[in-house]
Amino acid sequence: MNRAVLLLLPALAACASLSGGGADTGAATPNAAIQEFLAAARAKNLAIMASVWGTEKGPASKSMNKTELERRELIMIQCLAHDQATLGAPAPAEAGRLRIPVELTLVTLKANPTFTVVRGPADRWYVWDLDMDHLRDRGFCGATTTPPGAGLTR
């Protein structure tokens, strides 16, 4: 491969990621949007979270102030730590959205937040909302995958 092409590859990749809501953002199905969002939160990958979190207009990464977007994502990451996630059956919601119950397990904690997904541009799906209050009430916000007391030195 010629040296000039190798030097252009990072620039081309950056340009591809800056396009509007389309095949490079969102997910192909409602369940995939939630699964990708949860996997990104678990990996603490803000870019992927922002690409599958959004509205009918597209990803949050294209419509929100970067500082505010990252602040909200960091809060969600704190509440979405989990060892296992099981998605339930979708139910219709307002404005063509779908509500999908999700069971999250973290060590001995269990929570059943409802996620709301929406269809966006190019027939892609985005996580529109999730029940953060339920996660907080079940002890998920700030929880870790380390069992209580593990790793403490006295």
Cross-strand bridge partners of residue 117: 98, 127
Mention every residue, 6+ apart, whose C-beta is less than 8 A from residue 26: 33, 51, 52, 54, 58, 59, 120, 121, 122, 124, 125, 126
97-121 confidence digits (pLDDT tens): 999 999 999 999 999 999 999 999 9
Domain that holds residue 28: 21-137
In the chain, the number of structural domains is 1
Residue 145 resides in a domain: no
Q: With pLDDT > 70 as the criterion, what percentage of the chain qualifies?
A: 77
Q: pTM for the whole thing?
A: 0.79
Residue 25 resides in a domain: yes
CATH code of residue 33: 3.10.450.50
- In terms of Cα–Cα distance, which of 108, 92, 100 is closest to 146? 108
User: How much is the pLDDT for 24?
Assistant: 83
39-79 confidence digits (pLDDT tens): 999 999 999 999 999 999 999 999 999 999 999 999 999 99
